[in-house]
Amino acid sequence: MKPTDAMMAAGPASALPLPADWRDFVALTKPRVMTLVVFTGLCGLLAAPVAIDPVIGFTAVLCIALGAGAAGALNQWYEADLDAAMRRTRGRPLPAGRMTREAALHFGVGLAGFSVWLMALAVGMLAAAILLASILFYVLVYTVWLKRRTPQNIVIGGAAGAFPPLIGWVAATGRIELLPVLLFAIIFLWTPPHFWALSLFVRSDYAAAGVPMLPVVAGVRHTRLQVLLYSLPMAAGAVAPWSLGLTGAIYGIAAAVLSAVFVLLALRVALSRTTDPAEMIAERRLFAYSIGYLFILFGALVVDRLVG
Amino acid sequence: MNPPSDEDLLRARQRSRSIATALVLAALVILFFLLTIAKMSGR
């Protein structure tokens, strides 16, 4: 057997290759990111005006989770060098030397193929096709093409994370309609202010790794302004399902209040002048709020559809 | 007590991976069974 990274990870005295632990395969799927993906996918499924068999519904959400996990694994396979250069990510299985790149690639491709195959077999071809498109978009368009080349990586790449509610809806109904497209648009517009808030206080990490994130390329001040500018269409998009009569007042009021707070926090970011990451309270607050924002917004949508 | 040898570590890692794989396969068997029932009753 040829020597591998995992053998080296086991230490110079080790005579046997130590295979990666199963927990490292779980870590490769980015379980924290997957939480939001699964939740928005489930909300898309529950918001659809069609009753779906619980087993098929569960399978659809499982496929969304596995597809997201596969995309995360392939992202980590491709970005092992970047992850090793960043404090936030150097403990991941590949840069930490607990897993070989080959194992990560096989796991990612296998999981992606399985998730799409299962979705096609159990749920439907259209849902499977969108799932495949979302995986390919995240891996090829965002990870391989955009991330290392342009500060617009997050803007365009944000589409990858916006697919789950659309997939959930299509899994239930079998067709694409206006509401799930708006849900796609909300996450698409939410991604830039969410990620730029994070990248403001970890910009030295991105700079060290050579990733052209907006704060590294255009500066902190310009990024703060962009955070505010993107939060405005995001807020409009969040309220749009209500103003177009596609949802009831529960969702509408929740969207209006949550989005107003989001814009307010984005305004505080735009007005902030500190350059010390340790003192970037407004940025950290917006980043934390943006996660809760999406959870509550989509939760309100489901409540609205179930109650209304 | 002696620290675990490399071989002990390898065996423990292989065992935990085997158990994880078995659990995943068992879950898939149950899922495919339930999917078959759901698809048949759907017809």
For residue A16, list chain B residues with Cβ-Cβ distance below 8 A. Answer: 6-7, 10
Which residue of chain A comes nearest to B11, CA vs CA?
A: A18
In this complex, is the C-beta atom of B6 within 8 Å of any C-beta atom belonging to chain A? yes
Q: Are residues A24 and A170 in the same domain?
A: yes
pLDDT at position A275 is 87
pLDDT at position A144 is 94
pLDDT at position A88 is 86
pLDDT at position A2 is 40
Subunit contact B35:A59, Cβ cutoff 8 A: yes
Task: Tell me whether residue B41 is in a domain.
Answer: yes
pLDDT at position A252 is 97
List the single range of A1-10, A59-68, A77-86, B29-38 with lowest mean pLDDT. Answer: A1-10
Q: Are residues A145 and A238 in the same domain?
A: no
Find the mean pLDDT for residues A82-90. Answer: 90
Q: Is the model's pLDDT at A11 over the cut of 80? A: no
Task: Tell me whether residue B10 is in a domain.
Answer: no
Output the DSSP codes for chain A: ----HHHHHT-TT--S--PPPHHHHHHHT-HHHHHHHHHHHHHHHHHSSS---HHHHHHHHHHHHHHHHHHHHHHHHHTHHHHHH-TTTTTSTTTTTSS-HHHHHHHHHHHHHHHHHHHHHHT-HHHHHHHHHHHHIIIIIIIIIITTT-TTHHHHHHHHHHHHHHHHHHHHHSS--HHHHHHHHHHHHHHHHHHHHHHHHTHHHHHHHT---HHHHH-HHHHHHHHHHHHHHHHHHHHHHHHTTSS-HHHHHHHHHHHHHHHHHHHHHHH-----GGG-HHHHHHHHHHHHHHHHHHHHHHHHHHH-
Q: Is the model's pLDDT at A128 over the cut of 80? A: yes
Q: How far out from the chain centre does Cα A136 lie?
A: 14
For residue B7, list chain A residues with Cβ-Cβ distance below 8 A. Answer: 16
In this complex, is the C-beta atom of B24 within 8 Å of any C-beta atom belonging to chain A? no
First to last CA, chain A: 62
For residue B31, list chain A residues with Cβ-Cβ distance below 8 A. Answer: 55, 59, 62
Domain region containing B43: 16-43
Q: Is the model's pLDDT at A9 over the cut of 50? A: no
Q: Are residues A129 and A54 in the same domain?
A: yes
Subunit contact B42:A53, Cβ cutoff 8 A: yes
For residue B16, list chain A residues with Cβ-Cβ distance below 8 A. Answer: 21-22
For tokens 């292989």, name the residue: B14
Task: Tell me whether residue A249 is in a domain.
Answer: yes
Average pLDDT, chain A: 92
Mutate which of A1, A21, A22, A62 to disrupt the B interface (most B C-beta within 10 Å)?
A22
Subunit contact B13:A13, Cβ cutoff 8 A: no
Task: Tell me whether residue A187 is in a domain.
Answer: yes
Length of chain B: 43
Q: Are residues A68 and A114 in the same domain?
A: yes
Subunit contact B38:A10, Cβ cutoff 8 A: no
pLDDT at position A16 is 53
Cα–Cα distance for residue pair A126/A86, rounded to 1 Å: 38
Q: Is the model's pLDDT at A94 over the cut of 70? A: yes
Measuring CA to CA, how many Å separate A177 from each of A75, A132, A222, A260?
A: 30, 19, 36, 27
In this complex, is the C-beta atom of B16 within 8 Å of any C-beta atom belonging to chain A? yes
Task: Tell me whether residue A192 is in a domain.
Answer: yes
Q: What is the per-residue pLDDT across A137-196, written as a single tens digit (0 to 9) for each?
A: 999 999 999 999 998 888 988 899 999 999 999 999 999 999 999 999 999 999 999 999
The fraction of chain A above a pLDDT of 90, given in percent, is: 82
Subunit contact B9:A10, Cβ cutoff 8 A: yes
Write the DSSP symbol of residue B5. Answer: P
Task: Tell me whether residue B5 is in a domain.
Answer: no
Find the mean pLDDT for residues A237-251. Answer: 97
Find the mean pLDDT for residues A28-47. Answer: 95
In this complex, is the C-beta atom of A14 within 8 Å of any C-beta atom belonging to chain B? yes
In this complex, is the C-beta atom of B11 within 8 Å of any C-beta atom belonging to chain A? no
List the single range of A23-27, A109-113, A128-132, A276-280 with lowest mean pLDDT. Answer: A276-280
Measuring CA to CA, how many Å separate B17 from each of A25, A70, A255, B12, B13?
A: 10, 19, 45, 9, 6
Q: Is the model's pLDDT at A5 over the cut of 50? A: no
Domain with residue A39: its CATH number is 1.10.357.140
Domain region containing A73: 20-174
Question: Are residues A96 and A27 in contact, defined by beta-carbon separation less than 8 angstroms?
Answer: no
pLDDT at position A132 is 98
Count of structural domains, chain B: 1
Q: Is the model's pLDDT at A3 over the cut of 90? A: no
Mutate which of B30, B34, B36 to disrupt the A interface (most A C-beta within 10 Å)?
B34
Count of structural domains, chain A: 2
Task: Tell me whether residue A250 is in a domain.
Answer: yes
Question: Are residues A237 and A294 in contact, defined by beta-carbon separation less than 8 angstroms?
Answer: no
For tokens 């984005």, name the residue: A266
Cα–Cα distance for residue pair A139/A70, rounded to 1 Å: 9
Domain finish residue from A140, A156, A174: A174
Q: Is the model's pLDDT at B43 over the cut of 70? A: no
Q: What is the per-residue pLDDT across A256-290, written as a single tens digit (0 to 9) for each?
A: 999 999 999 999 999 999 988 888 999 999 999 99
Q: Which of A14, A16, A55 sits opposite B35 (nearest CB)?
A: A55
Q: What is the per-residue pLDDT across A221-230, written as a single tens digit (0 to 9) for each?
A: 999 999 999 9
Categorize the per-residue pLDDT at A87 as very low, low, confident or very high, splitting at 50, 70 and 90.
confident
Categorize the per-residue pLDDT at A1 as very low, low, confident or very high, splitting at 50, 70 and 90.
very low
Find the mean pLDDT for residues A247-254. Answer: 97
Find the mean pLDDT for residues A105-125. Answer: 98
Find the mean pLDDT for residues A238-259. Answer: 97
A-B contacts (CB, under 8 Å): 38
Task: Tell me whether residue A215 is in a domain.
Answer: yes
Question: How close A4 comes to chain B (CA, Å)?
Answer: 15
For residue B42, list chain A residues with Cβ-Cβ distance below 8 A. Answer: 53
Measuring CA to CA, how many Å separate A248 from each of A241, A243, A251, A301?
A: 9, 9, 6, 9
The fraction of chain A above a pLDDT of 70, given in percent, is: 95
Cα–Cα distance for residue pair A274/A36, rounded to 1 Å: 30
Domain finish residue from A158, A174, A190: A174
Task: Tell me whether residue A6 is in a domain.
Answer: no
Amino acid at A257: V
